[in-house]
Structure 1
């Protein structure tokens, strides 16, 4: 018997949560083993090229999809609880719940598809959508899967950052700048100055290994949108330091007026929002590690050439 695909876990997992209590993924796994009749062989099967079991992997994805579709809420890390939307979905009494059932929720669509795909989908009928997978090459399918995994990782990273302290975030910003090649080693490249800083400066980083110039940092944990006034305060702090370069990093977003403002000032100020932040972390290997690596090979035609 092979491990059921991850969509097979959807309905049983939703049924577990139907008691309206909070559940941990560890607790859910023990129930699912009995509920789905998973065998010892199923529990031993690993994802290809990785150390995680397929059962753990599929429970994790099922729970993550439900959270993104707001079928589950996630009160804290590793814990889930059914929402009213989840109760309504279960009340439909589907024989099986699939990813397609989640695609009626706008929050899930926003999570799973990039803007280009959204625009394309508006011009597709249901039949085309159902068969779109047949129109993609294996490479395209792999690339789409990679993007979905990366998007999930980016979402998880941002949530973890928001749940950590301001001090942690300020240090993270300096660490990221070092990873991106500024200043050399972490020990002497830059520092977080936190509460002892003044005028809105949270960190300092050398632009190069010799420290010929210094870049000032502002780290702002923010849920909403940052506008021009906050950026003007930072630019004022730069003027106070006679500095011409700064990086403003937030877990939130910026308004258009904030971007327009930095384009028209003498100081060079870079704005990095929450989405950019976690993507830089993934690209430069900060706070993440490789789980599975797939190597795609092609025929070396030169090898088969005969003289």
Structure 2
């Protein structure tokens, strides 16, 4: 079906708890999965932290239901039960409810006012209407972790664009050094022992710009084609044909074509066909992929700020 948003998990959670019994978060998550007929792929989705996305959304659904005092912890770790107020609320919303209805619950309003008082700097005479202020702990559809991921993606997109601008503003020799550093950072060769001089430059040698020796004897190598072309340039099939031909001519099995521009669909298709029909392994890296790899492997970038997201250490509180 589809991945439910965090607030969509609340109604099936409440329905399951309506029997008055104690249920674990795991059991409630399984009921949400059944309700939305989630596929195996959807169930397998994770956040960048490695946490299950659906588990994260169920967690925040449970969190807001507890803020509204519609459910409560049942003593045992990760276990919940419905409250008397929860039963009354569910009886009034048997066909379902959304965040708007939850925000009308007195306990949730009280929590929201406290949140505002602690976290929002009121302006002027501080006579702002707390009920009208937008101070929910997360958006209607995204959990705080989702928002962190989204913000990280937006920052990285802006950083990638800036990196490409910087690359294009530098001379070709800088690009050669960049390619060397990136290839070594990707694990081709030993970064701690290999120097730039060990990238054997072969400009004009039948479509090969350089060779990375993966071992000291040079028995295994990766052949490189690096082109610093304008971003509006399109690398076509003939360019890849020439590169593949050069690989075959040199008896190579691995090649990486790196460009600051982009590849045409025909070029990508030809590279895929070449790998299927031979023992060749050809990797195409365009401008956006290049900058994303630079960010991932910390080439030309440094960490500006780090945020730690902490969770309860369940073992600490487990007396069993």
TM-score (norm 1): 0.53
Secondary structure of 2:269's partner? helix
User: 1 CA distance for matches of 2:234 and 2:269?
Assistant: 15
Indicate yes or no: 2:184 matched with 1:171. Answer: no
Among 283, 286, 292, which residue is 1:273 paired with?
286
Match of 1:32 in 2: none
- Report the Cα offset of residue 175 of structure 1: 1.1
| Number of equivalences | 176
The SS at the match of 2:296 is helix
What residue in structure 2 maps to residue 293 of structure 1? 306
Consecutive unaligned residues in structure 2, runs of 5 or more? 1-135
The ranges of structure 1 where at least 4 consecutive aligned residues each deviate by more than 6 angstroms after the TM superposition are none
What is the SS of the residue equivalent to 1:286? coil
Is contact 2:180-2:196 (8 Å) kept? no
Instruction: Report the Cα distance in structure 2 between the residues aligned to 1:173 and 1:238, rounded to whole angstroms.
Output: 19
TM-score (norm 2): 0.51
Which residues of structure 1 form unaligned runs of 5+?
Answer: 1-130
SS at 1:183's partner residue? coil
Matched, 1:257 2:260: no
**Structure 1 residues 190 and 209, CA gap change in structure 2 (3 angstroms):** same
Q: CA deviation at 1:208?
A: 4.6
- Aligned match of 1:205: 212
1:233 is the counterpart of 2:242? yes
In structure 2, the CA distance between the partners of 1:192 and 1:278, relative to structure 1 (3 Å rule), is: farther
- Structure 2 distance, partners of 1:278, 1:209, is 29
**1:305 correspondence with 2:318:** yes
- Per-residue CA deviation, residues 50-99 of structure 1 (Å, 9 max, x unaligned), is xxxxxxxxxxxxxxxxxxxxxxxxxxxxxxxxxxxxxxxxxxxxxxxxxx
Q: Secondary structure at the match of 2:195?
A: helix
CA RMSD of aligned residues (A): 2.2
Aligned equivalents of 2:194, 2:311: Cα separation in 1: 40
- Aligned CA distance change for structure 1 residues 192 and 211 (closer, same or farther; 3 Å): closer
Asked if the contact 1:170/1:194 (under 8 Å) is kept, the reply is no
**8 Å contact 1:225–1:253 — kept in the other structure?**
yes
Q: Which residue of 2 aligns with 1:282?
A: 295
Select the residue among 129, 136, 146 that pairs with 2:142: 136
| Residue deviations 1:207-266 (CA, integer Å, cap 9, x gap) | 356643111100011222111001111122223322222110011111111111112222
SS of alignment partner, residue 299 of structure 1: coil
Q: Which is helix-richer, 1 or 2?
A: 1
CA distance in 2, matches of 1:275, 1:173: 14
1:187 aligns with 2:188: no
Deviation at 1:138? 1.5
